[in-house]
Structure 1
Amino acid sequence: MSFTSRLTRRRSLAAAGTAVVLAVALAACGSSKDSDSSMPGMDHGSKPSASSSSAHAGHGDHGSMPGMDHGGMDHGAMGDGLADSKDGYKLTSTATELAAGKDTEYKFRITGPDGKAVTAFADDQTKKMHFYAIRSDLTGFQHLHPTMADDGTWTAGLSALEPGTWRTYASFIPDSGAGKGKDLVLSRTVTVPGDAQKTPLPAATTSAEADGYKVDVKTDLVAGMTRPMTVSVSKDGKPVNDLQPYLGTYAHLTAFHEGDQAFAHLHPETKVEGDKGGPDLAFQAMLPKSGHWRLFLQFQTGGKLHTAALTLSVG
């Protein structure tokens, strides 16, 4: 074989070897579990929700929306709260109708994957169970901490309800079983008979008043993304510096989405230091859907609880 033929053959073999190496590398990249196939900045911790219910077949599954980690609990992983069951846990109640115009009780149970009533719950913001009720037009907000009987039956004492369709939410963390440590929110609807008069949702704003206090919200929220939010509390034009701890923090913020009543729970990051909170409270907020959200900020001063409500527009 001539020198020229040998040189040509070596170059051909080298090229073939390079092609094989390149092909293997590309195949490895294509099969990598860490492949960055999503848009950067959109992954805020993914714990997909399996929540679904035939009663909510018209609603999409928003439980996969990423959330925030507050004190070790991923509150975004709780889903949108529109299902009565999730991860084998179910909110059950025989109540389908509640009386209008007078205080009433709502009884319910949480059953686990084994079908039995759950009786072991972990503390979440100092309580074993957080219970919410709100009408379909996002009026009549109530946040309660019901009591549990030995058989796992919870009783929530509701203030007088206006006629209409209401949704009740149970927010809890199982302290045993397959769901131990999971932050869950389940809900059901209940009817209050009578002539229901719908109240239009107030226009979007960044401030609200309650009991002489003014609450200002500064944020630029985008649906499905975690963004900073600052809530400032003032009174008579002066900053408030005497916020008292309420449920282990200086404020409790709950949000409901207009139209489907999707649920979101936001926690302030501001460190609690006695009865001297405020005037500014920092949040890392994530609301999973665009549109209007009705926010309810609860805070305490002088031993009295205040609730400020405002409508926030999320793009």
Structure 2
Amino acid sequence: MAGMAGMAGVPATAGASATSPGDGLAAEQDGYRLDSPTVSLPAGRAVRYPFTITGPDGRPVTAFAAVQTERLHFYAIRSDLTGYQHLHPAMAADGSWTADLAPLDPGSWRLYASFTPETGPRKGREFVLSRTVAVPGTATTVPLPAAAGSTTVDGYTVTVQGDARAGTAFPLTATVGKDGRPVTDLQPYLASYAHLSAFHENDQALAHLHPITPVDGDHGGPTLTFYALLGRPGNWRVHLQFRTDGHLHTAALTLHVT
């Protein structure tokens, strides 16, 4: 849960623009729009979600800057903040995209696209846009886990420390351990040692950030430092992704912001 940028004025990594990409809750911002003909997806099986990003001229955007090695980051999460997915879809020559989603449980889902145009009037600016889809069936709401300072995944323990206050930039540190020992063999993932995304409990606002810790081969850890600026108080469900021995791990916990 260390550091969440990409939301409400959150700075990105060191040296990046401080311009806010927004909270990810709108389908359109400054002339850029996330479009899709799909408003419903079936439950219980892998599905494909087609979409396009159109620019201020109304035509599909085809030139995107690579951010953390990818031209577009795609997220999916259900309204109760379960079912998190982080994907990197492929774009066709005409500017159409297809996200291959793992099976979805019934309920309301929000799908986000994070991108930076490489040309046009907003060249170099990050955007986060989203749309919702309905997944038919009987939805069982999962209560949000209580706020906690640590969590475990695949035998790893992730501990987070920081004074999380809304509207104020603050540092967060994430420490990774295993079997009571510090982990020092984190491998680069998306040109960093971790990827973090967080979703606000009440409205699914999205925030994301990468650690400012420099990358030095497969020698990351045990502690990663992030900086965050979260515009809303309340609970955030945080997903910290990191790689070891070629395997991607996703640690999830709840952060309370005052």
Instruction: Name which of 148, 169, 180 aligns with 1:205.
Output: 148
Alignment-derived partner of residue 158 in structure 1: 101
Query: What do the CA deviations read for 1:172-208 (whole angstroms, capped 9, x no partner)?
Result: 0000111110000000000000000000000000101
Matched, 1:127 2:53: no
Structure 1 141/278 Cα, relative in aligned 2: closer, same or farther at 3 Å? same
| 1:70 Cα deviation from its structure 2 partner | 1.7
Query: What do the CA deviations read for 1:219-238 (whole angstroms, capped 9, x no partner)?
Result: 00110110011000000110
| 1:72 Cα deviation from its structure 2 partner | 3.6
Matched, 1:247 2:190: yes
| 1:73 Cα deviation from its structure 2 partner | 2.7
Q: Larger % of helix: which?
A: 1
Question: Separation in 2 of the partners of 1:76 and 1:217?
Answer: 26
Alignment of 1:190-269 (within 5 A): 190-269=133-212
Q: Larger % of strand: which?
A: 2
C-alpha RMSD of matched pairs (Å): 1.2
Alignment-derived partner of residue 84 in structure 2: 141
Alignment-derived partner of residue 234 in structure 2: 291
Question: Separation in 2 of the partners of 1:219 and 1:269?
Answer: 15
Q: Is the 8 A contact 1:163 1:195 kept in 2?
A: yes
Runs of 4+, deviation exceeding 4 Å: none
| 1:291 Cα deviation from its structure 2 partner | 0.2
Alignment-derived partner of residue 274 in structure 1: 217
Q: Is the 8 A contact 1:75 1:265 kept in 2?
A: no
Give the partner amino acid of 1:206. Answer: G
Alignment-derived partner of residue 171 in structure 1: 114
Instruction: Name which of 56, 74, 81 aligns with 1:113.
Output: 56
Give the partner amino acid of 1:242. Answer: D
Question: Separation in 2 of the partners of 1:121 and 1:144?
Answer: 16
Which structure has more relative contact order (CA 8 Å, sep 6+)? It is 2
Q: Is the 8 A contact 1:106 1:157 kept in 2?
A: yes
| 1:75 Cα deviation from its structure 2 partner | 6.1
Aligned pairs, how many?
253
Q: Is the 8 A contact 2:12 2:209 kept in 1?
A: no
Alignment-derived partner of residue 24 in structure 1: none
Question: Separation in 1 of the partners of 2:43 and 2:19?
Answer: 34
| 1:288 Cα deviation from its structure 2 partner | 1.3
Query: What do the CA deviations read for 1:229-271 (whole angstroms, capped 9, x no partner)?
Result: 1000000110000000000000000000001000001220100
- SS of residue matched to 1:233: strand
Q: Is the 8 A contact 2:14 2:212 kept in 1?
A: no
**With structure 2 as the length reference, what TM-score do the two structures score?**
0.96
Higher alpha-carbon Rg: 1
Where does structure 1 lack aligned partners over 5 or more consecutive residues?
Answer: 1-61
**With structure 1 as the length reference, what TM-score do the two structures score?**
0.79
Instruction: Name which of 127, 130, 139 aligns with 1:187.
Output: 130
Where does structure 2 lack aligned partners over 5 or more consecutive residues?
Answer: 1-5
Question: Separation in 2 of the partners of 1:251 and 1:75?
Answer: 20
Give the partner amino acid of 2:77. Answer: I
- SS of residue matched to 2:20: helix
Question: Separation in 1 of the partners of 2:18 and 2:73?
Answer: 13
